[in-house]
């Protein structure tokens, strides 16, 4: 049986390539994510103007295939990068700030929470293990080349399990689109409570979760003002965690309040997110997460309405 340490650089390399490629496909993601994570302005400008951060991740992920000293240098750079990422997300969680890391671009929600910290710590641990292995004179390509038939079968099985788990998680993330609307209540501006099924009993309802404290939300706030006019037949609401009666930005249309965030928890919403409640008592679309995905979701709804 091959030494399981081969999985450490393999997992980190795959994660970096996937994250970098997703950010390349969603170029706006790193810009707002860096601001949300509290990266200083000077460093943020350095990173975003050339937009080289996604490409750095891809290059580092592929460079883990280098033999000899190249593997050691790459493993050290990867460990430093992941350590920096981990420090940023730990600081966000510790301070209780709202943030989107967009770590995997448009592939999924990037809300920073405890699971983000756990994921980053696991990747960092794998990177450190790769450094230790490199110091001992090993490399990923060397270990892969030394695998016998049994080891290859073991490694392929592990990779297939990982792909299956990732596919299952991705499928379940969209599962709310086939679910019934939960019987939960939100509050209007005057504090009057209304259930979600009652709210959507006559017209579809587009709920968009926003906050005044995240940079990603600012992008959606700038765009959402004309959505009621663009989406005739659909009521557009901002779902806020602020208590009813608290002032909200003037650009937010028809604010609903979810101060205990029960609706967000049940529907799997972060900030920003969007979900479409159908008039048939089913969730008609979403949830989607991240500024680009939310704005794109509104565009898709508009296109659907035009085809009717």
Domains identified in the chain and CATH numbers: 4-173 (no CATH), 177-307 (3.40.30.10)
- Give the model's confidence band at 291: pLDDT under 50 very low, under 70 low, under 90 confident, else very high: confident
Tokens standing for residue 116: 């983000």
**What pLDDT does residue 98 have?**
64
C-alpha distances (whole Å) from 76 to each of 3, 18, 60, 146, 271 are: 21, 20, 10, 23, 34
Among 17, 21, 24, which Cα is nearest to 63's?
17
Contacts 24+ apart (CB under 8 A), 198-201: 199/235, 199/256, 199/277, 200/277, 200/278, 200/279, 200/281, 201/279, 201/281
Q: Alpha helices, DSSP H only, in the chain? A: 7-25, 29-36, 41-48, 53-63, 68-95, 114-135, 140-145, 149-173, 196-199, 215-224, 227-230, 262-267, 291-307
- Cut 0.75: pTM above it: no
- Give the model's confidence band at 167: pLDDT under 50 very low, under 70 low, under 90 confident, else very high: low
The sheet that has 193-195: what strands, in order across it? Answer: 193-195, 185-187, 256-257, 235-240, 205-209, 273-277, 283-289
- Statement: residue 163 has pLDDT above 90: no
**What pLDDT does residue 184 have?**
95
Tokens standing for residue 223: 């765009």
What is the average pLDDT across 5-18?
Answer: 90
- Give the model's confidence band at 47: pLDDT under 50 very low, under 70 low, under 90 confident, else very high: low
What is the average pLDDT across 56-74?
Answer: 94
- Statement: residue 77 has pLDDT above 90: yes
Instruction: Say which DSSP state 96 is in.
Output: T
- Statement: residue 113 has pLDDT above 80: no
C-alpha distances (whole Å) from 281 to each of 181, 278, 289 are: 6, 6, 22
- Statement: residue 227 has pLDDT above 90: yes
The total number of residues shown for the chain amounts to 308
Among 7, 276, 274, 261, which Cα is nearest to 147's?
7
Among 150, 131, 153, 149, which Cα is nearest to 140's?
131
What is the average pLDDT across 93-122?
Answer: 71
Cβ proximity of 302 and 230 under 8 Å: yes
Q: Of residues 223 and 115, which shows the higher confidence score?
A: 223
User: Which pairing describes strands 256-257 and 235-240: parallel, antiparallel, or unpaired?
Assistant: parallel
- Give the model's confidence band at 36: pLDDT under 50 very low, under 70 low, under 90 confident, else very high: low
Least confidently predicted of 163-172, 245-254, 261-270: 163-172
- Statement: residue 50 has pLDDT above 50: no
Q: Of residues 75 and 99, which shows the higher confidence score?
A: 75
Q: Of residues 37 and 270, which shows the higher confidence score?
A: 270
- Give the model's confidence band at 42: pLDDT under 50 very low, under 70 low, under 90 confident, else very high: very low
The span from the CA of 109 to the CA of 274, in Å, is 11
- Statement: residue 29 has pLDDT above 70: no
């Amino acid at each position: 049986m091959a030494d399981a340490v081969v999985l450490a650089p393999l997992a980190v390399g795959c994660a970096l390539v996937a994250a970098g490629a997703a950010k390349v496909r969603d170029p706006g993601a790193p810009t707002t994510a860096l601001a949300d994570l509290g990266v200083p302005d000077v460093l943020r400008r350095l990173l975003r103007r050339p937009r080289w951060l996604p490409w750095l991740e891809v290059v580092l992920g592929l460079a883990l295939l280098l033999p000899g000293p190249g593997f050691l240098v790459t493993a050290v750079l990867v460990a430093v990068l992941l350590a920096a990422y981990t420090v940023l997300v730990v600081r966000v969680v510790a301070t209780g700030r709202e943030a989107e890391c967009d770590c995997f671009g448009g592939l999924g929600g990037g809300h920073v929470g405890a699971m983000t910290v756990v994921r980053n710590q696991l990747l960092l641990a794998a990177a450190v293990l790769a450094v230790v292995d490199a110091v001992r004179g090993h490399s990923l390509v060397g270990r892969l080349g030394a695998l016998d038939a049994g080891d290859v079968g073991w490694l392929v099985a592990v990779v297939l399990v990982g792909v299956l788990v990732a596919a299952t998680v991705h499928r379940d993330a969209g599962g709310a689109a086939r679910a019934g609307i939960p019987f939960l209540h939100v509050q209007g501006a005057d504090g009057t409570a209304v259930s979600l099924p009652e709210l959507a009993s006559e017209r579809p309802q587009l709920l968009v979760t926003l906050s005044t404290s995240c940079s990603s939300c600012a992008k959606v706030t700038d765009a959402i003002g004309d959505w009621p006019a663009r989406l005739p037949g659909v009521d557009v609401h901002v779902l806020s965690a602020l208590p009813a009666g608290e002032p909200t930005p003037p650009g937010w249309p028809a604010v609903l309040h979810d101060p205990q965030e029960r609706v967000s928890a049940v529907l799997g919403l972060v900030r920003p997110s969007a979900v479409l409640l159908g008039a048939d008592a089913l969730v008609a679309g979403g949830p989607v997460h991240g500024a680009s995905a939310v704005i794109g979701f509104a565009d898709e709804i508009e296109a659907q309405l035009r085809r009717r």
